[in-house]
Amino acid sequence: MAAEVVANVPAVSDALFEVTIPAPAPPGDSLPPLLWPDVRPRLAALAARPGAAAIFGATGHRWKLEPPLAIFELAEVETQLGLSLPADYRAFLLQAGRGGAGPAYGLFPLGRESGRWHWTGGGASDGDSGPLTRPFAHIRAFNPFDELPARPEGGAADDEWWERYEDAVYDPAHSHGLLYLSHLGCALREALVTTGPSRGQMWADYMAEGDGFHPLQNPDGTRMTFTDWYRTWLTAAERTLDEACRTSSPK
């Protein structure tokens, strides 16, 4: 079996980047401008290239997207959530697909079951309107582990430390306003902020490895939007295969 190739992606940091973002519009049924006409042809071209299966996560999503949402289906999703999704992800759902090929192991698919919409897959958001409409309050990286004192050695103090650990680390308020879209394995996830001062940005939740939450950044230091995140991955995959082709070609 061929070894997996990880496409190069930009490094992230916890640099402060404040941005004023207008309040989200209420759910609506207007069609967004055409933003994603190139995605499906580019994915099809990638799928046909030698070595494409070795790109990290490709054996799961196989470069395929689920069908797009109809405008009335998106209206149902947004009505259920009680908010309008960030515009570029909204356009992606309508023009490209409701899940499938994407960064890491792909985009969690959005589907309807028993009349309600849910993102499916390990670690996906469940479509509950409560957590997504509560603001994600952060504008800089944070780590709930930093709130804990040094762990004592044994005894009642150790039991008390573990209680504080669970309160600090598993507080559901940490992920209010985060729409989880993808995972990198080992419970590491990346999410789109739906509410709060960082609305429209992509953030990493690396709590499973003790690294907390941090915003994803472009090479120039600006915060990644969904468009930046998705297109950076797509371009990196193409460049990785281009480089593999050049290095494997006879001299």
Q: What is the pLDDT of residues 122-166, one digit of tens each?
A: 889 887 777 899 999 999 999 988 877 787 777 777 778 778 877
Q: Is residue 92 part of a domain?
A: yes
Boundaries of domain holding 229: 39-241
Q: Is residue 74 part of a domain?
A: yes
Q: Does residue 191 lie in a domain region?
A: yes
How many domains does the chain divide into? 1
14 within some domain: no
Report if residue 180 sits inside a domain. yes
Helix H, strand E, coil C: the string for the chain is CCCCECCCCCCCCCCCCCCCCCCCCCCCCCCCCCCCCCHHHHHHHHHCCCCHHHECCHHHHCCCECCCCCHHHHHHHHHHHCCCCCHHHHHHHHHCCCCECCCCCCECCEEEECCEEEECCCCCCCCCHHHHHCCCCCCCCECHHHHCCCCCCCHHHHHHHHHHHHHHHCCHHHHCCEEEEEEEECCEEEEEECCCCCCCEEEEECHHHCCCEEECECCCCCECEHHHHHHHHHHHHHHHHHHHHHHHCCC
Q: Decide if 155 is inside a domain.
A: yes
- Structural domain contains residue 19: no
pLDDT band at 249 (very low <50, low <70, confident <90, very high): low
> pLDDT per residue over 178-222, tens digit each?
999 999 999 999 999 999 999 999 999 998 888 999 999 999 999
Q: Note the pTM of the prediction, 2 decimals.
A: 0.84
In a domain, 108, yes or no: yes
